[in-house]
Chain A
Amino acid sequence: MTAATHKKPGLETLRAAISRLEGHSDRRRRMLPFGVCEIDSRLPGGGLALGALHEVAGGGNDALHSAAAGQFCAGIAARTRGKVLWIVTRQDVFPPSLKQVGLSARRTIFVEASSDVEVLACFEEGLRHGGLGAVVAEVARLSMTTSRRLQLAAETSGSLGIAIRRWRRQTDAADFGQPTASVTRWRVSVLPSVPLPVPGVGRPRWLLELIRARAGECADFEVEACDGKGRLSLPATLADGSDQEAAWTRRARA
């Protein structure tokens, strides 16, 4: 699905009719756009659906550490409004790093649950409440039944739910292939950073794979990691900085 199909009015009305048939409320479902047109245009509705469950996992070694996946989720949570609930079983989040993607420590409430079962119970409780900006939970196993419960809880309250899939062993990561009821499924893998003309580490880059999107298609993006406000960006195609022409036209239109 490209930007061109978006302009077809017939398709849009058809989509609205289907969503009415599916039992979603009449009001348009709210979205949280990434602010990157290439990503948003691939997502049905033009952004990450609020009131839905999303799954994120790290690729490669990051399936165990969830450093990139965690930062990606923190960036999304930073762009929501209200408090953020972050549920873990083993606490290893370094709080200053959350602040560096725009998620203030004052907004983030951590829950340290003793087991995966308790994580999921707290996750559902948080989603049902409806007053939170986002609920993030680090879980290893997520069955179809549980994810359906979570998705239903998110739908009724309109909260954004993000499940960070994090496993103890690399072999368990194959679990990510199992179907769940989540609306989108992402895999974040680290890529070598942008080379600098001087010694040092450049801006981190990720390979962002949209593995599954309900009513959408899969896609891969090479993105630059979250900035201080939690926004992603596409690496500049030009040698010196961002695509000036596109930026100017965008600004002129706005």
Chain B
Amino acid sequence: MLSVDLSARKLGLRPGIPVAKAQALYPDLVLMDADPEGDRLGLEKLALWFQHRIAPIVAVDAPDGLVLDTTGADHLHGGELPMLKDIVHRMAGAGFRAKAVVADTWGAAHAIARYGRTPIALVPPGNTASVLADLPIEALRLPPTIIEGLATLGVSRIGPLAAMPRAPLALRFGPDIARRLDQAFGRMGEAIVPVRPVDPVEVSCNFAEPIGAAETIARYIGKLVLLLCQGLDERGQGVRRLDLLLHRVDSRTEAIRVATAMPVRDVKRLTRLLCEKIETINPGFGIERMVLIASLAEPMDRRQTVSSLIAEEETDVSDLIDTLANRVGMQALYRFAPVESDLPERSFCRVPALAPEETKDWPEHWPRPTRLLARPEPVQAMAELPDQPPLFFIWRGVRRKVKCADGPERVFGEWWKNDAELTIARDYFRVEDTSGERFWLYRAGDGEHGETGSQGWFLHGIFG
């Protein structure tokens, strides 16, 4: 048996036991033939999907993994940890239990993803050796014969193996152990040969002499973008995501990925987006080949500009949005849109900055505070029951006497979303203290019935 599912694992079945034995133990076991070719094709498809969504350099790490070079791409997902969470979450949505690890080297990431304890791990740069030391030698991508041989020698962990003298090991097992150890610890480079998407617009240039200076790279980026835009123009497409691969003389590949909010075919704008990322490139001993790929392109038609006779067109800010998004990340750039909810913290949501404009809007019956606290802060207050505003309240250690107040504005829990909110109510008051500062307070509960809330007071917002 090659692989078992979770329920079979609970029955005590493990990969490696003969089929006949398993069938003898559990006659109604569902067996399926292994399909290595199908698995490989599936994995390749998944790799292309990852290339689409996550990072430009993706390769299949057979038989059960993918390896990504996320350098220069994680910022589009809001950092490394959010990116890993996103990957695992998306895979879980598709029915896969995935583990994701960011580490310095392919070897280390491979080992920790398969033998680490947590589904998501982030190995800080330089910590690779200490994390790897405790893992079993199976994590090193060595052939089974070598692992068996090492087991006979009594070596089962990577740490002791790395500490052993190299020469006798190489004499007995060949050069594989030293190579895999060096690859895992980052002493030897390992190129990731990325999968290629189907027929993208792609331009490249080779250099007789390796280049390294930022100005030179910028100049060639300009030339490549010009060629790319001509190619896109022929197809009537605009680019949504652009990958620049820089092949170094030491056969490592640096990558830059930029994304745009709308299809773009503007040479100047794309050049600028790419050039802003030049400082993230490490040219090493020089770059001998640059490849620019429009990895995600969308149809883009020429548009007639609106005549100023009819209406003054609003200035297009999508180029600014792209510049900012590539600097702070797509998630950090948003607009607010109304949500139909009476609870203040649920009454708005974040939508992409250039999302189509919604027609709904917030009702304007009551004044709303300029600032809404992320979490309502409990305050001590004294108020007449059931529906009088507080006479005074103490917030952050300061006692404030209420001079005048508006309210209550009663908000009920959303029982159609959550059964627990069936009885919940809040009474909102807008109060002004003697110094003129205005606050938004609420009482959890209606002041009469205990089941409507704790009857405690909270400060939720501050008025201007």
Contact B405–A200 (Cβ < 8 Å)? yes
**With the chains together, A64 CA to B41 CA distance in Å?**
58
Contact A204–B438 (Cβ < 8 Å)? yes
Contact B406–A201 (Cβ < 8 Å)? yes
Contact A199–B463 (Cβ < 8 Å)? no
Contact B369–A97 (Cβ < 8 Å)? yes
Contact A193–B404 (Cβ < 8 Å)? yes
A35 to chain B, nearest CB (A): 19
CB-CB < 8 A to A96: which residues of B?
Answer: 338, 347-348, 362, 368
Asked if B316 CB lies within 8 Å of chain A CBs, one says yes
> Given the known A-B contacts A94-B368, A109-B333, A200-B404, are A67 and B463 also in contact in the complex, defined by CB atoms under 8 Å?
yes
CB-CB < 8 A to A191: which residues of B?
Answer: 436
Contact A106–B316 (Cβ < 8 Å)? no
B358 to chain A, nearest CB (A): 7
Contact B316–A131 (Cβ < 8 Å)? yes
Contact B364–A100 (Cβ < 8 Å)? yes
> Given the known A-B contacts A109-B333, A110-B334, are A225 and B464 also in contact in the complex, defined by CB atoms under 8 Å?
yes
> Given the known A-B contacts A70-B371, A92-B371, A95-B362, are A109 and B436 also in contact in the complex, defined by CB atoms under 8 Å?
no
CB-CB < 8 A to B361: which residues of A?
Answer: 99, 104-105
Asked if B13 CB lies within 8 Å of chain A CBs, one says no
**With the chains together, A204 CA to B430 CA distance in Å?**
12
Contact B432–A106 (Cβ < 8 Å)? no
With most chain B CB atoms within 10 A of its CB, the pick from A100, A121, A202 is A100
Contact A82–B348 (Cβ < 8 Å)? no
B-contact bits for A93-123, CB 8 A (1 contact / 0 none): 1111101100011101111111000100110
A82 to chain B, nearest CB (A): 6
A-contact bits for B347-378, CB 8 A (1 contact / 0 none): 11000010001100110100111111110000
A-contact bits for B295-319, CB 8 A (1 contact / 0 none): 0000000000000000000111101
**With the chains together, A72 CA to B332 CA distance in Å?**
24
A67 to chain B, nearest CB (A): 4
CB-CB < 8 A to B371: which residues of A?
Answer: 65-67, 70, 92-94
Contact B370–A112 (Cβ < 8 Å)? no
With most chain B CB atoms within 10 A of its CB, the pick from A65, A83, A93, A94 is A94
A99: contacting residue among B332, B364, B431, B432, CB under 8 A: B364
A68 to chain B, nearest CB (A): 4
Asked if A132 CB lies within 8 Å of chain B CBs, one says yes
With most chain A CB atoms within 10 A of its CB, the pick from B321, B328, B374 is B328
Contact A190–B436 (Cβ < 8 Å)? yes
CB-CB < 8 A to A228: which residues of B?
Answer: 364
Range class of the A interface residue count: 35 or more
B314: contacting residue among A69, A72, A82, CB under 8 A: A82
Asked if B399 CB lies within 8 Å of chain A CBs, one says no
Asked if B320 CB lies within 8 Å of chain A CBs, one says yes
With CB as the reference atom, state the residue of chain A lying closest to B358.
A106
Asked if B284 CB lies within 8 Å of chain A CBs, one says no
With CB as the reference atom, state the residue of chain A lying closest to B439.
A67
CB-CB < 8 A to A41: which residues of B?
Answer: none
B23 to chain A, nearest CB (A): 58
> Given the known A-B contacts A94-B344, A131-B317, A192-B436, are A74 and B370 also in contact in the complex, defined by CB atoms under 8 Å?
yes
Contact B464–A109 (Cβ < 8 Å)? no
Asked if B214 CB lies within 8 Å of chain A CBs, one says no
With CB as the reference atom, state the residue of chain B lying closest to A105.
B336
> Given the known A-B contacts A113-B332, A200-B406, are A68 and B317 also in contact in the complex, defined by CB atoms under 8 Å?
no
Contact A92–B373 (Cβ < 8 Å)? yes
**With the chains together, A221 CA to B403 CA distance in Å?**
23
Contact B328–A83 (Cβ < 8 Å)? no
CB-CB < 8 A to A204: which residues of B?
Answer: 438, 463-464
B370: contacting residue among A71, A110, A199, CB under 8 A: A71
With most chain A CB atoms within 10 A of its CB, the pick from B357, B373, B404, B405 is B404
Asked if A215 CB lies within 8 Å of chain B CBs, one says no
CB-CB < 8 A to B327: which residues of A?
Answer: 118, 121-122, 125
**With the chains together, A70 CA to B372 CA distance in Å?**
12
Q: Which 5 A-B pairs have the closest CB atoms?
A: A71-B464, A131-B315, A94-B372, A95-B336, A68-B464
A-B contacts besides A70-B370, A112-B334, A195-B404, 9 pairs, CB < 8 Å: A67-B464, A92-B374, A105-B335, A105-B336, A112-B332, A125-B320, A200-B406, A201-B431, A206-B464
